[in-house]
Chains A and B, each alone.
Chain A
């Protein structure tokens, strides 16, 4: 590209004539608080838990937190991409369950390859349909994916005799290798998060996600492929959810049918707590990872100290956290006069 830089020409050097500051210190601090709030809270909660909660600071406990959340965290990963564009995907919980059932069925009926590929292909097609309705027919993402949630759940029950048939992965199937052990699930999640980070920060697709969420109009005028990117992001989210379900089935050695209800909410909560703006345009994979871990640690603590209330106490905590975080986010956003 022959860059037409104006230096070569004559004329006075404009030097430092342009006012670059426009951000006050207050705005800068609030910006950092907004981006790193999830990470900071995670560190605080983690340190406090280590100090005050007996049995928390235990290697076995850490392992169980990490393994227990390895696959569900992937839903938050996919959700991050969607929310960055200003959209939302409520169908991931159902897709997680569907992926698991398809994988278990595939392992029994076709072997490893079918077990792995079938959920991915179905999920991708499903995402393609949702993305097309959102990007091309311009329907609201939340209503499309809400219907998608219902549809995928219905499909799952249809292929499992209303949820009564649980397909088991045959003993000795090579498919079981995927989710076996302690480190394999954790490593899988870490690798996928790293790949997600690279996709977001180091590819044009990732940059287009930021641009669309930041200003769809500007993205269009800059000549970015807006519609295509939006379709792809729903394909990506659905595929990740299907893959997470598939991996989970490998770990559980069966396709559990009643799993995944409400998982989309936890995923959204983790993404938002991780500092991604629900309006899109700003956020990070690292933040989402922090959000996932923060919720996981809280859930673990509640499980230890408030076990009589079961998961409802962590629901309450999740809801509270989410409300507090969005309130802080909107307040900070107003201070920084974002659009």
Chain B
């Protein structure tokens, strides 16, 4: 019995190997290249100050992208994350009178509720993920703005402000929390039954159902997690900005998050997740933006570059899933 594995012919293997390597590690290489180029142009790029500036930009996107990665793994999509950020930011000033922690908890609960609604629509009512979360994207932001009123509210609480501004050991609190979240998500994906089911359902739903997996429960849970993570990002934005501005917070976050996930190597077709890759994807997109800004490229052009990168990443990922 020599039939251990069906192997493609060597020539194909070589090309596949290059493509696979690029898909798996290309984003890390690209990050290294970008850092090198920037440092060469302007040595101050590689400094703690700049690191902090970049970190404050990337952390909220990164946290949202992690939730998005989980959703995409189940062959879904969550367009409501930007609106949930707005909702979470709108809730905080409302309950600040009861203390910062309670208001944070309520903001997070609000995110979970929105996620629950999305999950129920997708898993129980069988609405397509894109349309279920689209409805929430429109409705939840409207709700958030109504809660808050049209103009931004100033939030001067110290605890919340500290989340967005202060550092522990020279590294922003936000970054520490983000690191913890990344580790937790990575742990959940690798070590828990939930993580296993998540991947299985995204990869082969029919087989998962026939193996008796709780498909609906897992799907609902995934959307709740995505909502929760988006709400955390909302809290950070309020802390960093010192304002609650639901009309503007979180706009286009769904797009940035999806981009980070896709660039990080998680296929949109589900069944595979790359937690570290998603982190790298978010960092890479931030570095691209920073590089362009630093070299005085206008915002409009960096937007177009971002669009091209998205298409390129999806196109590259297609090669794998189509195999």
Contact = CB atoms under 8 A, between A and B. Distances in A.
A touches B (Cβ under 8 A): yes
Interface of A: 88, 133, 137-140, 142-144, 146-151, 153-158, 162, 262, 265-266, 268-269, 272, 278-279, 309-320, 322-323, 326-327, 330-331, 334
A234 B130 CA distance: 19
A262 B19 CA distance: 37
A322 B127 contact: no
Interface of B is mostly: helix
A326 B132 contact: yes
Contacts of A315: 138-139, 141-142, 145
Contact of A147 (B137, B139, B311): B311
Contacts of B303: 150-151, 153-154, 157
Interface in B60-88: 77
Given A143-B262, A151-B303, A310 B150 contact: yes
B142 A322 contact: no
Interface string B288-323: 000000000011111110111011001100100010
30 contacts: A88-B130, A139-B314, A143-B268, A143-B311, A147-B308, A147-B311, A148-B307, A150-B303, A154-B303, A155-B300, A155-B304, A162-B298, A262-B138, A266-B138, A310-B145, A312-B144, A312-B145, A313-B142, A314-B142, A315-B139, A316-B139, A316-B143, A316-B146, A318-B138, A319-B137, A319-B141, A319-B142, A326-B131, A327-B125, A334-B126
A315 B137 CA distance: 9
Closest 10 pairs (CB-CB, A-B): A319-B139, A315-B142, A154-B303, A316-B142, A312-B145, A157-B300, A151-B307, A319-B138, A154-B304, A158-B300
A192 B135 CA distance: 27
Of the four ranges (under 10, 10 to 19, 20 to 34, 35 or more), the interface on chain B belongs to 35 or more
Nearest to B117: A323
A262 B83 CA distance: 12
Contacts of B181: none
Interface of B: 77, 117, 121, 125-128, 130-132, 134-146, 150, 247, 255, 258, 262, 268, 298-304, 306-308, 310-311, 314-315, 318, 322
B315 A317 contact: no
- Most B CB contacts (10 A, CB to CB) among A133, A156, A309 go to A309
A319 B135 contact: yes
- Most A CB contacts (10 A, CB to CB) among B125, B128, B134, B146 go to B134
B77 to A, nearest CB: 7
B321 to A, nearest CB: 10
B304 to A, nearest CB: 4
A143 B138 contact: no
A142 B130 contact: yes
Given A278-B128, A309-B145, A318 B139 contact: yes
Contacts of A265: 134, 137-138
